[in-house]
Structures are given as structure tokens and as C-alpha cells.
Amino acid sequence: MTTVRKWRPAQENPIDPVPGDWRDYNSFQKLINTGPDGNVDEEKLEEHFEEQSQIFNWEEIPIDFSLIKPGDRIRYVTQTQDNKIVFRTGGWVTHVADDYSYFAYMAHTKTSWCVQSEDCQRLWVIKCKPKKKQSIITFKPPPDKITKYTVYLPDHRTGSQIRVASFPNQYKLDRFLNSIKFQRALDGEDWMFKPD
């Protein structure tokens, strides 16, 4: 007989659970927060990061939220409202406050959370790789002569159509129209004429 998985709401942990009730799933967070009164078990916390550092690039950093940015992956120890010190498996940073007093992140369960700097006790991060800076597409200024094989592109600043090329024949026009550079500019990437 095949077992069919039941749909569960996001707050009930969308990660594939162990057989049985999802509450039985022993996450890192649950295992580490088994110290006295549900606080962090420091020995298990250190074991966790010793093991994780062999697999991933977790780095403990000072509690200075100016050191993190959206896209970074975080884990942390925090003080709860009922004064427990607990470990959280965190997620991906989505926002850092301008004054660095808090940051928001998307948890593995697809829920959003905020961490206040005054509550954060320890912080680990895996830095995201910065995206490649997108270069501006450049075209040679078109010749003065306008032909029937002329190409225009929208100027994204003004919205007007600007002549970017004129060709003597259909073959050269088709080559230009099918070029990756022209297609990128047509899709909305910034472009300009090469300076003389």
C-alpha cells in the first residue's frame, strides 16, 4: 500500500519530516536547545558548528549587523521574551535596518523573522557571493547616412527612440538584430554609444 503525503501549512515545517508527526522531527535547533530549562546546550552548539564548519563556510562574527547584507545565510543565539537563551537555525537575510538595530530573514520554513541587536547573543554567517556587476552595453555611433536597414532602440531615460545602426543590406541588419548585445539592450539593459 502506498502512503500519500498530506498537505501541511507552512508553519508546520515544510521540510520532509521523519515518519510520524512533524513535531517528532529532531532539527538541529531542537537538539541544541536541550540544555537546562530549554536553553542552549553549549557543548552541543560547539559540536554543531565544529561539524558544520567542515562542510560549510560558517563564520562566527561580532554582533554588528553592519557586517551582514541581504542574501547572507545566518544562524544565531538569541534571548527570547521569557529570558531563555536559544539557538536558531536562521535562514537568508532579506533586509538590514539602516541603523543596524535589526535584520529580517527568510527562514527555511518560508516564514519571515526579525532579530534585534540587543537580543542577539552570538551570530554566524555564510556570506553570499556578490553578483557580477552588470556592464553597460555599448554601440558604435551610427553613420550619418540613414538607410532602409536602420535600427532604433528606446532610450530608457527619456522613452524616445534612438537610431543605433544603419546597414547597407538585409544580411548585415539581420546579423545585428540577432546579436546577443542587441537582444540584451532590447530586453531593457542599459546601453550607450561608445565615446569617440
User: Residue 9 pLDDT > 60, yes or no?
Assistant: no
Please state which of the ranges 87-91, 97-101, 129-133, 139-143 shows the lowest mean pLDDT.
129-133
What average pLDDT does the structure give for the chain? 83
Residue 1 lies in a domain: no
Does 185 share its domain with 147? yes
Per-residue pLDDT, averaged over 148-164, amounts to 85
Nearest to 88 by CA among 28, 36, 138, 128: 28
Domain span at residue 77 reads 11-126
Entry pTM: 0.56
Assess contact for 72 and 55: CB atoms under 8 A. no
Does 18 share its domain with 81? yes
Does 142 share its domain with 90? no
Residue 86 lies in a domain: yes
Q: Choose between 66 and 111: higher pLDDT.
A: 66
Per-residue pLDDT, averaged over 55-59, amounts to 86
User: Last residue of some domain: 104, 126, 148?
Assistant: 126
**Residue 40 burial by CB count (10 A; 0-12/13-18/19+): exposed, middle or buried?**
buried
User: Last residue of some domain: 73, 94, 126?
Assistant: 126
Task: Name the residue with cell 535584520.
Answer: 103
Q: Which residues of 159-174 are buried (b: 16+ CB within 10 A; e: fewer)?
A: eeeeebbbbeeeeebe
Does 48 share its domain with 95? yes
Does 117 share its domain with 182? no
DSSP class of 156: T
Residue 163 lies in a domain: yes
DSSP class of 94: E
Taking the C-alpha atoms of residue 26 and residue 42, their distance in angstroms, rounded to an integer, is 17
Q: How many domains would you assign to the chain? A: 2
Does 35 share its domain with 84? yes
Does 143 share its domain with 112? no
User: Last residue of some domain: 126, 147, 182?
Assistant: 126
Residue 122 lies in a domain: yes
